[in-house]
């Protein structure tokens, strides 16, 4: 296993484990999930040397199931679509080192894609941070129903949106590890306490399943992406699924609602990083506000400051009702719209991302609002808290394309059924980049 060489080329890891034992299954862990034996930075120099005294629940549950390789690169705090906001170096797409691997779970997708050994990456999504890099790096990426997997030990971006999920080249490995990590947790009051299926037994016939294709999710999508996604939908049709056109009219409001809610919660969550308890600190002198401003000014990068300021503004007296509370109402309408579709369809199929993995110089030319707009296809289902699976569906110009499958709450079984059917009838997922 050539981890150091992989890391030198792609910057997939922030921290690599010093000694790795031979194992049948390997794990990588996104660097905002706490590990007691390795530092946890959340991709930010604010936590450049933070060593948690505990494991996150998901880490506890995989211990002894395989070998942990290290902590993977990510946009600071999860703030990014392209992996370009990491304070420890920019991760690179293994299919083209001059392009983005997607974000914010950048390193997780790189490792899942590039390692020839059997491996599963633990990642996290707030607005698309699993689906996006899974699509850009040609792996399966599962974002479970909100609350299905305990978030205890996760350094939160936005508490009402964060979800820990998995990426791997083989969907069967994701099903296996889901069995390990799913289950109620007294330390996370939002965790699901009900019964769950054996996900390794959720594969089967898809004939007769009703698959909705929302027309709004194909607007502003590159033709090359659209073509590959339609090939995937045609495959489902040939396997006996019933394809229906549906409409998600509130899609155009999802982006604004998501960013108001997510940044408001992020502003609150990141207030704790002030240079007192852990992480970056400075010489204690002057007034408290002066000290806090000095630490936070040097510890947060430009994108982090932008999002904190926007979130703080949205929560201010006089603006909270105008922005934050209105965004919560829009969120409820979006949930209801998805529920209505799922009363008529078993799943929804759409492009994962509207573009192919962009070059870094192309990203540099984008304004922040243009970067945020790239999340247009993933923020809606994240707001709704429904499960989603990005499936490798082909290549265009040598670059991967993902098909996004979405299901009703706690219907991961349907995602596994359809995802596995695609896997059995294609070979895209078998490809490994040459590095």
pLDDT digits (tens, 9 = 90+) for 128-150: 999 999 999 999 999 999 999 99
CATH of residue 421's domain is: 3.90.1300.10
What percentage of the chain carries pLDDT values higher than 90? 91
Provide the pLDDT for residue 319: 80
Q: Is the pLDDT of residue 317 over 80?
A: no
Residue 312 located in a structural domain: no
Closest CA to 418 of 228, 232, 245, 216: 232
In a domain, 286, yes or no: no
pLDDT higher than 90, residue 123: yes
Question: Mean per-residue pLDDT for 314-326?
Answer: 86
Rounded CA gap, 88 and 12, in Å?
10
- Helix or strand holding residue 242 (H, E): strand 242-246
Q: Would you say 376 and 354 are in contact if contact means Cβ atoms under 8 Å apart?
A: yes
Q: How far apart are CA 61 and CA 214, in angstroms?
A: 37
**Which one of 28, 76, 100, 104 is the catalytic residue?**
104
Mean pLDDT over 246-253 rounds to: 96
pTM score, whole prediction: 0.96
Q: Give yes or no for residue 274 having a pLDDT over 90.
A: no
Q: 37-56, pLDDT tens digit by residue? A: 999 999 999 999 999 999 99
Residue 344 lies in domain: 3-250+328-430
Q: Is residue 127 part of a domain?
A: yes
The confidence band for 423, taking pLDDT boundaries of 50, 70 and 90, is very high
Report the DSSP beta bridge partners of residue 341: none
Task: Give the pLDDT of residue 1.
Answer: 63
Inside any domain, residue 275: no
Task: Find the helix or strand (DSSP H, E) in which 131 lies.
Answer: helix 131-137
In this prediction, residue 142 carries a pLDDT of 98
CA 170, chain centre distance (Å): 17
| pLDDT tens for each residue of 341-389 | 999 999 999 999 999 999 999 999 999 999 999 999 999 999 999 999 9
Active site residue 396: no
Q: What are phi and psi of 71, to 5 degrees?
A: -105, 130
* pLDDT (average), residues 10-33: 95
- pLDDT value of residue 59: 98
- In a domain, residue 272? The reply is no
Q: Is 390 a catalytic residue?
A: no
User: Checking DSSP bridges between strand 399-407 and strand 347-351, what pairing results, if any?
Assistant: antiparallel
Q: How far is CA 343 from CA 51, 167, 246, 266, 330, in A?
A: 46, 29, 12, 33, 20
Q: What does the pLDDT look like over 194-204, one tens digit per residue?
A: 999 999 999 99
How far is it, in rounded angstroms, from Cα 71 to Cα 130?
A: 15
Percent of the chain with pLDDT over 70: 100
Which tops the pLDDT comparison, 28 or 2?
28
For residue 277, the model assigns a pLDDT of 80
Say if 193 falls within a structural domain: yes
Structure confidence at residue 17 (pLDDT): 92
Q: Residue 305: pLDDT band by 50, 70, 90 thresholds?
A: very high
Question: Count of domains in the chain?
Answer: 1
pLDDT at res. 156: 95
Question: Cβ contacts of residue 377 below 8 Å, gap of 6+?
Answer: 128, 217, 221, 350, 351, 352, 353, 354, 404
**CA atoms within 13 Å, Cβ hemisphere of 270:** 32
Cα 394 to chain centroid, rounded: 20
The pair phi, psi for residue 406, each rounded to 5°, is: -130, 140
- Residue that the structure tokens 């002198």 belong to: 285
Rounded mean pLDDT of 263-289? 87
206 falls within a domain: yes
Q: Which of 28, 30, 105, 267 is catalytic?
A: 30
Q: How many CB atoms lie within 10 A of CB 425?
A: 11
The answer to whether residue 247 is catalytic is no
- Going by pLDDT thresholds of 50, 70 and 90, the confidence category of residue 251 is very high
**Would residue 290 count as lying in a domain?**
no
Band (329; pLDDT cuts 50, 70, 90)? very high
What is the rounded average pLDDT for all residues in the chain?
Answer: 95
pLDDT of residue 321: 84
Give the Å distances, CA to CA, from 172 to 82, 121, 198, 359, 420: 27, 13, 12, 32, 8
Query: Are the C-beta atoms of 429 and 393 separated by less than 8 Å?
Result: no
Across 23-49, average pLDDT: 97
d(CA 158, CA 389): 21
Closest CA to 27 of 78, 70, 91, 75: 70
Cα separation, 350 vs 84, in Å, equals 26
Instruction: Please tell me which residue in 73, 76, 129, 304 is annotated as part of the active site.
Output: 129
Helices (H), 239-323: 251-269, 288-299, 302-315
């Amino acid at each position: 296993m050539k981890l150091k060489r992989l890391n030198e080329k792609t910057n997939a890891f922030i921290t690599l484990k010093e000694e790795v034992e031979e194992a049948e299954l390997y794990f990588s862990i996104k660097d905002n999930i706490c590990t007691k034996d390795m530092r946890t930075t959340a991709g930010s120099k604010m936590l450049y040397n933070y060593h948690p005294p505990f494991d996150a629940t998901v880490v506890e549950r995989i211990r002894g199931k395989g070998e942990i390789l290290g902590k993977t690169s990510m946009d600071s705090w999860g703030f990014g679509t392209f992996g370009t906001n990491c304070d420890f170096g920019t991760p690179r797409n293994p299919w083209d080192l001059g392009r983005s691997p997607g974000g914010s779970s950048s390193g997780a997708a790189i490792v899942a894609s590039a390692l020839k050994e059997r491996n599963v990456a633990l990642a996290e999504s707030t607005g698309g941070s699993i689906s996006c890099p899974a699509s850009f790096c040609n792996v399966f990426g599962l974002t479970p129903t909100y609350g299905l997997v305990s978030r205890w030990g996760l350094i939160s971006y936005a508490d009402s949106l964060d979800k820990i999920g998995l990426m791997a080249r083989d969907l069967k490995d994701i099903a296996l590890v889901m069995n390990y990590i799913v289950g109620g947790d007294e330390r996370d009051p939002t965790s699901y306490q009900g019964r769950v299926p054996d996900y390794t037994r959720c594969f089967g016939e898809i004939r007769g399943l009703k698959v909705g294709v929302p027309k709004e999710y194909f607007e502003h999508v590159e033709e090359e992406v659209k073509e590959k996604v339609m090939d995937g939908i045609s495959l489902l049709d040939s396997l006996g699924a019933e394809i229906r056109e549906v409409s998600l009219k509130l899609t155009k409001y999802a982006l604004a609602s998501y960013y108001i809610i997510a940044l408001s919660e992020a502003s609150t969550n990141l207030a704790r990083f002030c240079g007192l308890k852990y992480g970056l600190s400075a010489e204690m002198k002057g007034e408290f506000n002066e000290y806090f401003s000095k630490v936070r000014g040097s510890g947060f990068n430009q994108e982090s400051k932008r999002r904190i300021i926007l979130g703080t503004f949205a929560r201010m007296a006089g603006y909270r009702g105008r922005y934050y509370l209105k965004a919560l109402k829009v969120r409820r309408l979006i949930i209801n719209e998805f529920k209505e579709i799922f009363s008529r369809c078993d799943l929804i199929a759409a492009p994962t991302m509207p573009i192919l993995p962009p070059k870094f110089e192309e990203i540099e030319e984008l304004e922040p609002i243009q970067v945020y707009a790239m999340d247009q296809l993933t923020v809606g289902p994240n707001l709704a808290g429904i499960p989603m699976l990005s499936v490798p569906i082909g290549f265009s110009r040598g670059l991967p394309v993902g098909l996004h499958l979405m299901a009703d709450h706690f219907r991961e079984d349907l995602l596994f059924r359809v995802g596995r059917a695609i896997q059995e009838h294609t070979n895209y997922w078998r490809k490994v980049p040459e590095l």
